[in-house]
Structure 1
Amino acid sequence: MRFQSAVSVLFCLVMLAIAGGRARAEMIDGIVAVVDDTIIMVSDLEERMEELDAPKNNKNAERQVLELMVEDIVVKKIYDSLGLPPVGEDEAEDLVKKSGMSRRDAESYIRKAALMDMMVRSRVVVTENMIRNYYESQEQYRGKESVHLNQILIRGDGAKAAKARAELDAGRPFAEVAKQYSDVLSSGGADIGWVAVADLSEEVSRALSTTEPGDIVGPLSMNGYQAIYQLVERGVHREKSLSEVRDEIADTLQKKHQLEAFNHWLKKMMSEYFIGIYL
């Protein structure tokens, strides 16, 4: 532990002041934490609390902010001890503009990112199994009960819709009837693809609830249209396949595990410093 003689003297004075009664306690009323040879005063904590818009007169919030301040001090000490270049003004200002964070937070973020790159990034490996498990477990990637539909939409003409339905019942292919009668075609045809059951209107969902692939329902009145549907298939459908989101998931997992590894490494490094918190 790098505990310099000056810090030893300071720490002894703090302890003597605590033990020496009210008169001596006044000497350290302004000290809330010590990190090796760096002191954090009450005024420093109050300034940081205000900067972070933390709730006032809240001991838990004060403790959390103080611990953040201690961590930032240790990060800077490690950063400087490794001989890394000072944070550039342009880099910090650019991050401030993009993120809205304070200059102090921007500099701390840049230091942490540099240390993470140096100490843990190369040690984190994301496997195919990790990607697949994440894909299967996350709500945004889970499939929804869906139906694959063909559709005919006829603008408010009940007689035309009835005629279209009669031709379908006579066995004419749905695609041909759609091209002749439908006022709205998806990509030039009847196939509107997969639709989540939860996104269907109550009337359409109810009409399709007992259908089998190939069955036809309608005409159904919908917002000024007469709608006829043919069920192509039903099942659980995902909006995006694993191959489409593999890189996105890999990046998410890489960042998550890098942060966990960095926090573990930083906690270990902090144990090498004298840290006194007197809040």
Structure 2
Amino acid sequence: MESKRFRSAVSILVCLALVAIAGGRAHAEKIDGIVAVVDDTIIMVSDLEERMKELGAPADSKKVERQVLELMVEDIVVRKIYTSLGLPPVSEQEAQDLSEKSGMTVRDAGSYIRKAALMEMMVRSRVVVTENMIRSHYENQPQYRGRDSVRLNQILIRKDSAKAARALDELNAGKPFAEVAGRYSDVLSSGSADIGWVAVEDLSEELRASMKAEKPGDVVGPLSVSGYTAFYQLIERGVHGARPLEEVRNEITADLQKKYQLEAFNHWLKKMMSQYFIGIYI
């Protein structure tokens, strides 16, 4: 009964505020009205504007405005749950320290600390990552399988067509690529022409096309690359960067735990929010 009276009182308050806002607009006056209510907590237009400004959000986007307001509502609910469970208040210093380390605002840092504590208490111990989940994730993530790659020697000559022509003549004459690179290349990797393995998909379109039919030992060039005349020699092809399951097991386990803990927490929080009177009026 008291809950019904409370909700009725809040509804009346909100209606009066909305009428005031409408009247203010009709007279081209800015009224600081209510944009949301969470039980006995009210969010005003000025609160939303301040939060938008703090986040650097575009003031003219209604979609973004709504998203920011929903985050503010969620943060109020999290505070209420956190307090109701008797958890220790987040100190200003604690929030400040996290803010400095992470780059987030002090307000967001405090919210993060409260959510992390609730996640630890409510869902973390309930999330179990099984062997099948680990293997399925490993088998379906291309970064663990490695990528088609080429290992290349490289010569880069900066804005010197005569020098590039001499290098090309020596390469055509069959001189060893490494020797020609040592004499003519303006850029060497640790004193060597060998630039290591490069994923085929990371090559420029021109170089990828030129390398398509080449065999180890073949030379491609001259090509224009960022102000340089470039020559490349294919050393070998292969799948590079593959990582065995045992090497990445802990990494995958941690990633899956975070993923499913967050999903479980968001589900739990959504259920908890349904227990509060929440009104959003934009």
TM-score, normalising length: structure 1: 0.68
> How far 1:91 moved relative to its partner?
1.6
Give the whole-Å Cα distance in 2 for the aligned partners of 1:22 and 1:228.
Answer: 75
Gaps of 5+ in 1: 165-177, 184-190
Q: Within the alignment, does 1:129 sit opposite 2:132 as a pair?
A: yes
The range that moved more, 96-105 or 73-82, is 96-105
Deviations 1:172-221 (A, max 9, x none): xxxxxx9xxxx8xxxxxxx998664557898899689475xxxx645888
1:144 Cα offset (Å): 1.7
Aligned residue for 1:94? Answer: 97
Give me the whole-angstrom Cα distance separating, in 2, the residues matched to 1:2 and 1:243.
Answer: 59
**Residue 269 of structure 1 aligns with which residue?**
272
| Separation of aligned partners in 2, 1:163 and 1:130 | 54
Does structure 1 conserve the Cα–Cα contact (< 8 Å) formed by 2:39 and 2:276?
yes
Q: How far does residue 244 in structure 1 lie from its aligned partner after superposition?
A: 2.3
Please list every run of 5 or more consecutive structure 2 residues that lacks an aligned counterpart in the other structure.
25-30, 156-166, 183-193, 223-227
Question: In structure 2, do the counterparts of structure 1 residues 274 and 204 end up closer, same or farther at CA, with 3 Å as the change threshold?
Answer: closer
1:33 CA drift (Å): 1.4
2:115 paired residue among 112, 116, 122:
112
1:274 CA displacement: 1.0
Correspondence for 1:70: 73
Give me the whole-angstrom Cα distance separating, in 2, the residues matched to 1:104 and 1:278: 23
SS in 1 for 2:57: coil
2:15 and 2:220 map into 1 onto residues whose CA distance is 87
> 1:10 is aligned with what amino acid?
A
Match of 2:84 among 60, 81, 84: 81
Change (3 A) 1:51 1:120: same
Change (3 A) 1:25 1:275: farther
Query: Helix, strand or coil for the counterpart of 1:62?
Result: helix
Match in the other structure for 2:253: 250
State the identity as a percent: 61
Q: CA deviation at 1:35?
A: 0.9
* Residues 3 and 36, structure 1, Cα contact 8 Å, conserved in 2: no
1:58 and 1:86 map into 2 onto residues whose CA distance is 34
| Aligned-pair CA distance for 1:110 | 0.4
The residue aligned with 1:169 is: none
Give the whole-Å Cα distance in 2 for the aligned partners of 1:163 and 1:29: 80
Alignment partner of 1:38 is 2:37: no
- When residues 3 and 143 of structure 1 are mapped into structure 2, their CA distance, relative to the original with a 3 A threshold, is same
Whether 1:51 and 2:54 are equivalent positions in the alignment is: yes
Partner-residue secondary structure (3-state), 1:273: coil
**CA offsets per residue over residues 221-274 of structure 1, 9 Å max, x none?**
8999x998776xx54333433322222222122111111110000000001111
Q: What secondary structure is seen at the aligned counterpart in 1 of 2:86?
A: coil
Whole-Å separation in 1 of the counterparts to 2:84 and 2:149? 58
Distance 1:210 1:33, change over 3 A: closer
SS state of the match for residue 121, structure 2?
Answer: helix
CA distance in 2, matches of 1:102, 1:192: 42
Going from structure 1 to structure 2, the CA distance change for 1:2 and 1:241 (only over 3 Å counts) comes to farther
Aligned pairs, how many? 253
Larger radius of gyration: 1
The secondary structure found in structure 1 opposite 2:3 is: coil
1:114 partner SS = helix
Tell me if structure 2 keeps the 8 A contact 1:197–1:205: no
2:13 is matched by which residue type in structure 1?
V
